[in-house]
Each structure stands twice: as C-alpha cells, then as structure tokens.
Amino acid sequence: MGHLRRSHGIPFLRLSHRIRRGGLVHRPRFNGRVEDRIGVDDLISIRVYAQEPMSARGHVRPEGTLTMPLLGEVPVAGRRPSELGRELEDQLKQRGLVVAPSVTVSIEESAPLRVTFVGEVRRPGTIKLEAPVNVVQGIANAGGLTEFASGNRIFVVRNAANNEVQRVRFRYDDLVAGEPHATAFRLRTGDVVVVE
C-alpha cells in the first residue's frame, strides 16, 4: 500500500507514494474491486454446501462473533467473506466434520458505519454512513472541505486488529481524480478522518 511512516509517534501509510522493493521503485498495481470486510451488526450468511444443518445466518455480535453449529463461537468481524470461507473449510476438515467442505460467506446486509470527521470539514462529528464508503464519499457526507483545508493532509486514523493505531495519509487530488488505491480504501466503523 505504501510506506509505513511515523508522525507524532503514530505510524501511518502514505498511499500516494511509490514502494521500494529490492532496490526497484514501482507503483503498486490495482487489481480490481476490493472485497468488503465483515463488521459488527452486519447480517451475514455462512452456507456449508450440502450440509444445511451446519450453516448459519445472523447478525455479528458486538464482540465480533457468530455462532455456528458444531464450531461454536466463530470470530468473523474484520475478515473478508472469501478469507473467512477458506478458514471455515479448513476448520471443518481438520475437525473431521466434513471431508471436502465448500463454504460460502456473504454479507446480506451491512450495518451503517459510524465514522468521526474532525478538522477542516464543514460538518465535523460522528456520522452514520451506508457501507461501502471510501474517503472522498465520507468527506462529502461531512459537508466537504473548508477553505482552510490542506489537500495534502487528509488522514484516516484506525485501530488495527493488533490494537495498534494506523494513520493512513491521502491527497485530495488523488481522491477526486479516482486514483485506484485512494478510491479503493474503504472506511470502517470507528475510523477517525482528520483533515488538516
């Protein structure tokens, strides 16, 4: 995605820069649509092919889990449906419950996102948004930028899965020009968008 840097002790990723690997500098390629992640309160369906009694459907609990027959509480929040499906196939196989499982996970209904906007936006505060929402769509819902906003200093501050704080930097010109990496980044519940 970009260089991991630190600003005021908080690491952040800068998406608008090139990545250096093995001495070569190149721009990462965008390979299409980004799959949404499962969130708390989302209504999800987990289907085990030809094993309906082992399938599950329900809202993700506040602790990020869903109960599945024979597997019990399964952590689902923050995962992509395709990744979760593969993990569940592995669990079913390892426990000897299904010889060759085929699991399909889908998000039937996304819960509204709660994202906080601070700084140089016209309507700062916490806003409920319908997922999926990228950064420029979120800023638009917050009334847009003020005349004092710096187009090069837009950050999304996010608590990562490992309880570390990430700070991802965006440039407004990349967002409105449709630069693939900038527009593919999806906001999540709990994100704080800071516009300096």
Q: List pLDDT tens digits, range 138-176.
A: 999 999 999 999 888 999 999 876 778 889 999 988 888
Q: Residue 58 belongs to what domain range? A: 43-109
Residue at a domain's end among 88, 109, 130: 109
**How many domains is the chain built from?**
2
Local confidence band at 131 (pLDDT 50, 70, 90 cut-offs)? confident
pLDDT value of residue 13: 43
Say if residue 105 is in the same domain as residue 126.
no
Query: Percent of the chain, pLDDT > 90?
Result: 57
Local confidence band at 40 (pLDDT 50, 70, 90 cut-offs)? confident
Q: Amino acid identity of 156?
A: V
CATH number where 154 lies? 3.10.560.10
Could you tell me the CA-to-CA distances from 64 to 78, 81, 96, 174 in Å, in that order? 8, 14, 26, 33
Q: What is the pTM of this model?
A: 0.61
